[in-house]
Amino acid sequence: MKPIIWILFLVTFTVFPQGGQMENDLKKEGVDQRGNESSPQHQTLLDSANYFKKTSIEKSIDFIAQSIAGLGNNADGKQLSKSLTMLGEVYQYHNQLDSAISSYKDALTADKTM
């Protein structure tokens, strides 16, 4: 298999678990009852957002929203900052500069306060 196809295969089955396996997969990944996810799942969502950054702003923002939602109420400042920075990059790529600046500022605030 070509490397890019293999990566797409892995991302697809990591991000979109099949059938009833979702709860079991999340438990294996370290997701607790409140929805706080482990670092590998968070990074996978951000990698997916980065992959779709140039082709689909909607998909990118959706993956970023999932990464933030997965952090829950007890969000780690570094992970939240990474998500908001990626959001800024997506907005910047699509020339939505006001939104990009706002996201970058939020990322800096999240990193300092948490």
The CATH number assigned to the domain holding 41 equals: 1.25.40
Can you tell me the mean pLDDT for 91-107?
Answer: 95
Can you tell me the mean pLDDT for 23-44?
Answer: 57
Burial group, residue 6, by CB count within 10 angstroms (0-12, 13-18, 19+): exposed
DSSP 6-34: HHHHHHHHHHS--TTHHHHHHHHHT--TT
**pLDDT value at residue 55:** 94
pLDDT for 30 beyond 90: no
Q: How many domains, in total, are found in the chain?
A: 1
73: pLDDT confidence band, cut at 50, 70 and 90?
A: confident
Q: What are the Cα distances from residue 20, in Å, to 16, 27, 73?
A: 11, 12, 26
- Which segments of 13-111 are extended strands (E)? none
Question: Which one has a higher pLDDT value, 5 or 89?
Answer: 89
Give the structural domain span for 16.
3-113
CB distance 84 to 107 below 8 Å? yes
**pLDDT value at residue 71:** 87
Over the chain, what is the mean pLDDT? 77
